[in-house]
Amino acid sequence: MKDNNDMPGHLARRFQQIAVAVFLAEVEDAGFDLTPVQYAALATIKANPGLDQVTLAGLIAYDRTTITGVIDRLVQKGLIERRPSSRDRRARELEITDEGRRTLRKITPAVESAQRIMLRGLSAKEGEELMRLLRKAIAAGNELSRAPLRDAQV
Amino acid sequence: MKDNNDMPGHLARRFQQIAVAVFLAEVEDAGFDLTPVQYAALATIKANPGLDQVTLAGLIAYDRTTITGVIDRLVQKGLIERRPSSRDRRARELEITDEGRRTLRKITPAVESAQRIMLRGLSAKEGEELMRLLRKAIAAGNELSRAPLRDAQV
DNA sequence: TGATATTGATCAGTATGCTGACTATCAGTA
DNA sequence: TACTGATAGTCAGCATACTGATCAATATCA
């Protein structure tokens, strides 16, 4: 019988669990209330003004049904705006607000600190290697989840 | 601005997302309906007959409030039994059923196949190195989540 | 012993994430 | 143009995960 510690799936779940806990703790210490998912969405909307929800989902590999709720909460917090697209009446264009921009700027140190903390058991070289291997495994498995990563159409 | 791909937290989430999708697909192909979490709980109950829920949670690093629902569903499926402990009337003892044992035996090839698939982009050596680095990072961050890994009391 | 603290389990509430279904709209084509 | 298929977004339902609270039972110690 294989031990849990020999199962990449188990290790993935555990590392992700710690990563989320660290992120939330750092962000809360900085005085904000934003989840990892909300942060990624907000940063991506800022970098791609006016994008629609499906494009956003593709850029950060979320399921389109998950995005709906995330967007709802970001709008609720006043960090982004959602308005109908003029080109496609099915689509919604997403735009960051001034407050969203402010939040993003002030929260960045906490986010970067969280990334360091979740790798604190590794040397700099090991951290780089872990990220490289994760990127490689993810690239090979990209199409295996319902929410694959997609490039922006531009 | 850091890219998502430079964020270990983002990579962790993405790898876990793929790992779960692969697990569910392989298990469903084998004709079963069991989540990664349910599998880990079932295997751990089999290996530690009569353990209580808190001990189970510690062994696989789940939150104790999450365990309740997982156990409910395993009982519902007839794979385990939950009964009051004789030593401590607050606690419940968990025991695998014959059907649980049968399911575990028949599902194992699918689970092992899933572990291979989620590492398919990596060489054997790289897969080992990824697991080593994950274990190391997890060990250093164990106490940072609400559900740290705990040894069994025995 | 009796007061206090701790522990095992559960619950309510919130936030991902998924499947599958549905509506509205758009795009391509016969 | 009318039909067909695809697409954007939403929703219901289910399963993790977490926070914080509660209840019952156990442990601890003055």
Inter-residue contact B60 to A4 (CB < 8 Å) = yes
pLDDT for B148 equals 86
Return residues with beta carbons within 7 A of strand C.
Answer: A 35-38, 62-63, 65-66, 69-70, 73, 88-90, 145-147; B 13, 17, 20-21, 52-54, 64-65, 67-68, 71, 82, 85, 88, 90-92
Distance CA A80, CA A36 (A): 16
Tens-place pLDDT, residues B73-82? 999 999 999 9
Q: Which two tokens stand for residue B127?
A: 């897969």
Inter-residue contact B26 to B117 (CB < 8 Å) = yes
Report CA(A64)–C1'(C22) in Å, whole number. Answer: 15
pLDDT for B146 equals 84
Q: What is the CATH number of domain A9-118?
A: 1.10.10.10
Q: What is the CATH number of domain B4-118?
A: 1.10.10.10
Q: Which residue, among B5, B3, B115, has the nearest Cα to A6 in the 3D structure?
A: B115
User: Which bases of strand C sit closer than 7 A to a protein CB?
Assistant: 7-13, 15-21, 24-27
Q: Which of residues 83-142 of B touch A (CB under 8 A)?
A: 111-112, 114-115, 117-122, 126-127, 129-131, 133-142
| Domain residue ranges in chain B | 4-118
CA torsion angle for A60, A65, A70, A75 (degrees, to 10)? 110
Tens-place pLDDT, residues B36-69? 999 999 999 999 999 999 999 999 999 999 999 9
